[in-house]
Structure 1
Amino acid sequence: MSDATTHRAFFGDAEYAFRLTPPLIIELERLTGMGIGGFCQRLFAMDFRHADMLATIRLALIGGGMAHGDADRLVRTYAADHPIMHAYPLAVDILDRLWGGPPAVETDEPKDETQEVAEPQPEAQVEVFDPPADDDHARSLRNGYGA
């Protein structure tokens, strides 16, 4: 299983591996009736069918190593009858990982040793504003009741 296109996420009751292998991409294309590029564009633009979003998650669970029946049961239990915005981010993350690979890892080390490090600036002193005590006239003017 390639870590480059495997997405790990909590879904329903535990954390699972999600991966769309080449044969599963072909199956997703067959189910959606479009190529993977067009399907990704449509899903990312929130222009998709509910069944296509569910198929993405189910097939990715299978590609992550889960048995077909278990993947189907998880999707029916934790996605099919739930608000779309619970499952949509997972489908996007699965396809985003397929499309672009793993996210870039940021390090604390500078990328270029010739970069200058900015001198730390002293923190600005913050003055506490203590408003004067309110009187009825000032309060009514501030709230727009009176002139």
Structure 2
Amino acid sequence: MRGAEQIVWPGGEHSFRLGIGELRAIEQRSDAGCAVVLMRLLSSQFKIDDVIQPIRLGLIGGGMQERDAQKVLDSALDIASPYALAVPAADILRRFIMWETDDQPSGEPGE
């Protein structure tokens, strides 16, 4: 899995990471696969946990204590609506379920 990434979002700039455990927790809380959660976020058909869990669990996976992650999330919810937080939630989730590496084939022969 990928390492943590620094992301700027309405709650500030923090380290985020979603490992297998965090991804499974998102699926359990949202009662859907991660790709379904991502599509719900992108299509504005999300549930509140679709927004909150990738952010909260991403902060925890990035090294923040659970209590501190909840405080940061609560502060962000004081200044930004769940609708506004859907974009960073989708970005966080996308970064840890979809990525390309240099060793992946491009699909074109000779490249």
Normalising TM by the smaller chain, what interval? Answer: 0.7 to 0.9
- TM-score w.r.t. the length of structure 1 is 0.59
Paired residues, number: 102
Q: CA contact under 8 A between 2:11 and 2:75: conserved in structure 1?
A: no
Name the larger-Rg structure: 1
* 1:72 aligned onto 2:70: yes
- TM-score w.r.t. the length of structure 2 is 0.76
Counterparts of residues 3-82 of structure 1 (less than 5 Å): 3=3, 6-12=4-10, 14-79=12-77, 82=80
2:84 alignment partner in structure 1: 86
Structure 1 residue ranges, 4+ long, deviating more than 6 angstroms after superposition: none
Deviation at 1:82? 2.6
Q: CA contact under 8 A between 1:7 and 1:93: conserved in structure 2?
A: no
Deviation at 1:19? 1.2
1:132 alignment partner in structure 2: none
Structure 1, unmatched stretches of 5+, are: 105-147
Structure 2, unmatched stretches of 5+, are: 103-111
1:117 alignment partner in structure 2: none
Q: Say which structure is richer in helix.
A: 2
Letter paired with 2:63:
G
Residues 107-135 of structure 1: CA deviation (Å, up to 9, x unaligned): xxxxxxxxxxxxxxxxxxxxxxxxxxxxx
